Amino acid sequence: MADEPHRITFLAKTFTAAALEFHRGRMSDRGYRMEGRIEPTVFQMIDEEGKTTPAFDGEPLFTVTFVKRED
């Protein structure tokens, strides 16, 4: 577990899928806590010239971020 990343963000098509990841992924057992809220998010890609294009066909996805607890 020591080599796991400090932050992990999951993208899901439904709120329920994002919410269940805490338990399904045993995130607490792996030393993570949920950060913030689960919210629908639209993603944009930015190229080197600053031009933006929609990611994931502009479809909003629910995001949930987990952060390693500092014990």
Dump pLDDT digits (tens) for 21-60: 988 989 999 999 999 999 999 999 999 999 999 999 999 9
On whether residue 49 sits in a domain, the answer given is yes
Query: What residue has token string 């899928």?
Result: 17
pLDDT winner (highest mean) among 2-11, 42-51, 62-71: 42-51
* pTM higher than the cut 0.75: yes
Could you tell me if residue 1 is inside a domain? no
> Does some domain include residue 2?
no
Strand order in the sheet with 32-41: 7-12, 61-68, 32-41
- Residue span of the structural domain in which 38 resides: 7-68
Number of folded domains in the chain? Answer: 1
Rg (CA), the chain: 14
Using left for φ > 0, alpha for ψ between -120 and 50, and beta otherwise, residue 24 falls in: alpha
Question: Are the C-beta atoms of 18 and 65 separated by less than 8 Å?
Answer: no
Q: Is residue 38 part of a domain?
A: yes
Query: Residue 9's CB: how many other CB atoms inside 10 A?
Result: 12
Domain assignment of residue 26, yes or no: yes
**How much is the pLDDT for 32?**
94
